[in-house]
Structure 1
Amino acid sequence: MERAKNLKPIASDNSVRAKNRICIIVIFLFHLVGLTGFIIPSLTVLFITLVPWHLLLMLGIIVYSYDNFDSRFLLFALTTFVIGFLAEYIGVHTGWLFGHYQYGRTLGIKLFEIPLMIGVNWFLLIYAAGVILQRSRLQNTWVRIFTGSMVLTLLDVLIEPIAIHFDYWHWLDAGVPFKNYGCWFMLSALLLFIFEQFKFKRQSIVGPALLIAQFIFFAVLNLIY
């Protein structure tokens, strides 16, 4: 009987590892498919319409992979969504944050001229960066927040040309203002600070895999367009 009891956690660990492997495979597979669709001209229009569904799929994968889903995780997700959405609302309607810009059609359904998927995107990016830093050797909270904010700002540098090209959003200024990157850094820092306050238990590499896939996706598109 003791041997049977001891086998239970081993089986459970194996099942968690298998689940995480599947999640990572799906993440990279769908980013590769999306990359192919964006590169091949005859498929581009179709794949642009699939962008919101892709983000929803990534959201589902992150939620599915989260270890011990609870109300705290849901609260963090909602908090990140709301703050990210409100920041974008202020940016679009006042220009105080990021600069003067407007959203196109690619990110789907809008509320007050802001795509709902932008809140989802902020959650995905902050969660992924937060888990990477959680798994890192950086011990100081402020160093982790600074590092994560720099990483996400670097990602935005890669995103901007592609977002403009594929009508995610467009700038009313001449080019992308430096203010945009400063606000990306500050908003990322605020949301990563909130992530730190929740003190989540160590999570799997599914979140980091998503962030790596995003870097690869936008880096390759920058080389092509």
Structure 2
Amino acid sequence: MKNKAPLFLLFITTGYVACSFFRGYTDYNLSSVLTPLILLPFALIHGGIYCGTKKIIYFFILVFVVSVFYEGVSVSTGFPFGNYYYSERLGVKLFDVPLAIMPTYFSLGYVSWFISNVLSQQVFKEIESKFKVFIISIVASFIMTSWVLIMDPVNSLVKSLWFWTDDGVYFGVPLTNFLGWILCVFTFYLPFTFWCYKDKVHLKTKPAYGYLYLPSIIYITIMAKYILCFFFKEDVIVTLQSGRMFSTNEIYGTVVLIGFFTMLPIGVHSLYKIYTYSCPNELMTKKT
């Protein structure tokens, strides 16, 4: 199974890319549930290869507990994300929080954490110091929140998956939401990264290089999906609870612009970093 795992990961990645393009052309209502279910096995398998089965299961449990806690508290009190509530479109809830969002926290949380390791040049190294633990954790938090910056206005205002009761400045989304995300994800990134530092078994064996590119491809695909939405979705007017109105083209155009200067360079730079890991001799030849 270990030998077949990278091939299976490639199959999942291809499926996710196809699903994202499909979502760019259609209004398939179950897509917001199907996407995390596609990425859940990806994160479990990729993480199992990269940092070990025991650690990735621990990470899953940690992410589940932390995300349910922060989401549940915020729905009840408004801290740390702001005041909002979920619609019924995401299915069964625990403490008024849909269970369907937990696989997204975990899978994209892992993707962001892996990319942070790539950008911090820790892919094939034991984590060097406690300071590097902090750097990896905070960089991963911003990589994850860059996705939220793109996703939240669309899922809340266009798709009505949740509703903000406060009239925030960013298409109804309050700025506290993004500070809350950094706090939430940093809460599970820091102990997990510290565990990887403490046990000193971080990626002892090097897997096939092709498998290392897949998280970055997924991350870039998330942004590309909204480009398709901007060009192919019907432009309609959506209204906040406060009465403010926006066109969906305005929303998609804004998030595409933001993604172009956040998610895209993060994803492309991580691809280049992996390339330098896989082709060191060629690069050295070119330099000389």
Q: Normalising TM by the smaller chain, what interval? A: 0.7 to 0.9
User: Residue deviations 1:165-188, cap 9 Å, x none?
Assistant: 101111001121111111111212
Taking structure 1 as reference, are residues 214 and 194 closer, same or farther at Cα in structure 2, changes over 3 Å only? farther
Q: When the two structures are superposed, what TM-score results if normalisation uses the length of structure 1?
A: 0.79
The corresponding residue for 2:58 is 75
- Structure (1/2) with the larger helix percentage: 1
**For structure 1, which segment, 164-173 or 28-37, has the greater mean C-alpha deviation from structure 2 after superposition?**
28-37
The reply to whether residue 93 of structure 1 matches residue 90 of structure 2 is no
- Paired residue secondary structure (1:106): helix
Q: Which amino acid aligns with 1:82?
A: V
User: Residue deviations 1:9-45, cap 9 Å, x none?
Assistant: xxx76x45433332321221111122222xxxxxx2x
The reply to whether residue 55 of structure 1 matches residue 36 of structure 2 is yes
- Paired residue secondary structure (1:54): helix
The corresponding residue for 2:212 is 204
The corresponding residue for 1:184 is 181
The reply to whether residue 24 of structure 1 matches residue 16 of structure 2 is no
Percent sequence identity is 19
Q: When the two structures are superposed, what TM-score results if normalisation uses the length of structure 2?
A: 0.63
Q: Which amino acid aligns with 1:48?
A: N
Counterparts of 1:125 and 1:87 in 2: how far apart (Å)? 17
The reply to whether residue 171 of structure 1 matches residue 164 of structure 2 is yes
Task: Please state how far the C-alpha of 1:198 moved relative to its aligned partner.
Answer: 3.5
The corresponding residue for 1:8 is none
Task: Please state how far the C-alpha of 1:219 moved relative to its aligned partner.
Answer: 5.3
Counterparts of 1:222 and 1:196 in 2: how far apart (Å)? 37
Q: Which runs of 5+ in 2 are unaligned?
A: 123-131, 197-201, 234-247, 249-288
The corresponding residue for 2:128 is none
- Paired residue secondary structure (1:99): coil
**For structure 1, which segment, 81-90 or 99-108, has the greater mean C-alpha deviation from structure 2 after superposition?**
99-108
Q: Which amino acid aligns with 1:95?
A: G
Taking structure 1 as reference, are residues 66 and 136 closer, same or farther at Cα in structure 2, changes over 3 Å only? same
Structure showing greater relative contact order (alpha-carbon pairs closer than 8 Å, 6 or more residues apart):
1
- Paired residue secondary structure (1:170): strand
The corresponding residue for 2:142 is 150
Taking structure 1 as reference, are residues 142 and 179 closer, same or farther at Cα in structure 2, changes over 3 Å only? same
User: Residue deviations 1:107-166, cap 9 Å, x none?
Assistant: 222122110022221111210111111223446333322222222222211112101210
The reply to whether residue 33 of structure 1 matches residue 26 of structure 2 is no
Counterparts of 1:108 and 1:219 in 2: how far apart (Å)? 27
The corresponding residue for 2:222 is 214
Counterparts of 1:222 and 1:95 in 2: how far apart (Å)? 31
Task: Please state how far the C-alpha of 1:54 moved relative to its aligned partner.
Answer: 2.6
Write out the 4+ residue segments of structure 1 that deviate beyond 4 Å after TM superposition. Answer: none
- Paired residue secondary structure (1:167): coil
The corresponding residue for 1:3 is none
Task: Please state how far the C-alpha of 1:196 moved relative to its aligned partner.
Answer: 1.0
Taking structure 1 as reference, are residues 96 and 222 closer, same or farther at Cα in structure 2, changes over 3 Å only? farther
**For structure 1, which segment, 28-37 or 213-222, has the greater mean C-alpha deviation from structure 2 after superposition?**
213-222
Q: Which amino acid aligns with 2:115?
A: I
- Paired residue secondary structure (2:85): strand
Counterparts of 1:218 and 1:130 in 2: how far apart (Å)? 23
Counterparts of 1:138 and 1:64 in 2: how far apart (Å)? 22
RMSD: 2.4
**For structure 1, which segment, 53-62 or 210-219, has the greater mean C-alpha deviation from structure 2 after superposition?**
210-219
The corresponding residue for 1:102 is 85
- Paired residue secondary structure (2:182): helix
Q: Which runs of 5+ in 1 are unaligned?
A: 1-11, 38-43
Q: Which amino acid aligns with 2:215?
A: G
Counterparts of 1:116 and 1:158 in 2: how far apart (Å)? 22
Taking structure 1 as reference, are residues 84 and 138 closer, same or farther at Cα in structure 2, changes over 3 Å only? same
